[in-house]
Amino acid sequence: MIRNVVLGRVSDEVDLAALEAGLQALRELAVPGVEIELHAGVDLGLRAGNADFAVTVDLADEEAYRAYDENAEHRRIRLGLLGPLCSSIERVQFRLPTAGPASSGRTMGGPARTR
């Protein structure tokens, strides 16, 4: 599995409703023959200096990523809806662990120590 991650900053004068419309278009994106798990949202403001929005997309492999990346509707959303809003975009695609105990990535620390 591959996780595609995008973080973006929008220009100051951008209307956040336009950003949300672009993210919603991504959420509704279907790529022929490719299963994608896409989550997108605006920053919650929990930390100073954060970027403005994030998109994460889980795909089966490199071939699925390429089909997603080159998909016409995806390009329309990226170049036509989101691109014009952005002052900067960072991307990474990285490998998610395949099945196995460590693959869940889940840890649960012991009970919280009382302070």
Q: Contact residues for a second copy (CB under 8 A)? A: 2-3, 5, 7, 9, 27-44, 46-47, 49-54, 56, 62, 65-67, 69, 90-97, 102, 104-113
CB of 113 to a second copy, least distance (A): 6
List beta partners, residue 7.
54, 90
Residue with smaller CB distance to a second copy, 34 or 81: 34
CB of 13 to a second copy, least distance (A): 20
Amino acid letter for position 100: G
Amino acid letter for position 105: G
Residue with smaller CB distance to a second copy, 40 or 85: 40
CB of 77 to a second copy, least distance (A): 13
DSSP annotation of 105 reads -
Nearest alpha-carbon partner for 11 in 77, 86, 80:
86
Look at residue 65 and give its three-state secondary structure: helix
Across the beta sheet with 86-95, the strand order is 53-59, 2-10, 86-95
Residue with smaller CB distance to a second copy, 18 or 34: 34
DSSP annotation of 47 reads S
CB of 80 to a second copy, least distance (A): 19
Residue with smaller CB distance to a second copy, 14 or 67: 67
